[in-house]
Structure 1
Amino acid sequence: MAHDLIIFDLDGTLVDSETLANRVFYEKLVTLGLDPAFDLMRVTRDFTGLTVAKCLTLARDAYGLSDIPNGFEAELKEATYASYRAALAPIPGVPAMLEQLRQLKCVASSSAPEKIAFSLELTGLSVHFGDNLFSVHHVAEAKPAPDVFLYAAEKMGGFPPAACAVVEDSLPGATAGIRAGMTVFAYRPDGDGDAFAAMGCHVFHDMGDLPALLG
């Protein structure tokens, strides 16, 4: 079916930021004494799709890093932005895909509002979204709760869930879309989409295929 509103996740869906951000986060945690058992692969798997606040809670509760200094989040933001300035790029195929889409579209992300705008501007994608940018910072509960997607649909014109498609790459984000009652398209470039398909997502592997899938 055709969809009237397309709601995009940001990190790992529109911009190739997760590898950069997770490496910076991991390196910062190492300076705090992170146990070697929690390597970059583990941190990447655990943190993908979560807010910084949830990542910090996980670091304290599951990684045993109880002594995280007050200025840590500000330092992390500064280092992450520096990494983005040096290397952030759109996900392959995203610019051409966005040019093809005729539907109304917006971004709904776990990132902070200023980080969403910064990432889109840096990669040249902001022209496709304007001010239609929404963050979990605007709602009560972060992904995997459906709040940010329902909020975006309401702010974009009161679209019912059935008229909305969500494009996501993470399990927390896909879960949020399903809980919102929206159709979820899961971008899985490496092909590992079984968990997403099992929850009812439409799995795809190439951004060039998305316009036809969205109808």
Structure 2
Amino acid sequence: MMKGSVLMYQVATVALLALACSLAFAYDPSPLQDFCVAVDKYDFVAFVNGKFCKDPKNVKAEDFFFSGLNIATDTSGQLGTNATNVFVDQLPGLNTLGISIARIDYAPYGVNPPHIHPLGTELLIVLEGTLLASFVTSNQADGENRLFTKVLNAGDVYVFPIGLIHFQMNIGKSKAIALASFNSQNPGVITIANAVFGSEPPINPDILTKAFQVDKNLIEYLQKQFGK
């Protein structure tokens, strides 16, 4: 093989390997078995998308079962909302399947505050009541963050793209109920106010004062409100 041909072969090989790697990391890999029921074999299990698998011979129907989404949760708290999650920790049979669901109950004028799901896109289905649902885009080319807002009634569906700040409010005079489905077995949640003002240890208030362009006393007040 001539030197030029060898060089071209090497370049092509590197390019194909790079493409293969990019494709391999673009999406979660498909399961290589029928199921992988989650089990904690040790006192400490790494926090990753998948968990250890139960021996298939010991798997039972109950590993794929969850009961209770028909039960309303307590919404008497300050926010007026509460959720029943069915993630991999509640339903071990979800492990490696890339799906989960939650029921959200809203008191009248209850708010599911601004938050993100870093690991999954959310599809919200309203079962009862009227919700105001919104999400905010990431920084646009013009530096703006665009807000998308929609009033949802029973039977309506709204999608919140992965990683974007979103929230809902019950704008009706009666309770509301919604189901939220995710393309992740454990979508994660970061509630903005809790994370910013209630982190442990606290974020330096001087940083937050400059970031939010408000009086330092207000930042310290908020940190006391959200701190543990």
TM-score by length of structure 2 reads 0.27
- After TM superposition, the score normalised by the length of structure 1 is 0.28
Larger RCO (alpha carbons 8 Å, 6+ apart)? 1
Bigger-Rg structure (1/2): 2
Which of the two has greater helix per residue? 1
More strand by share: 2
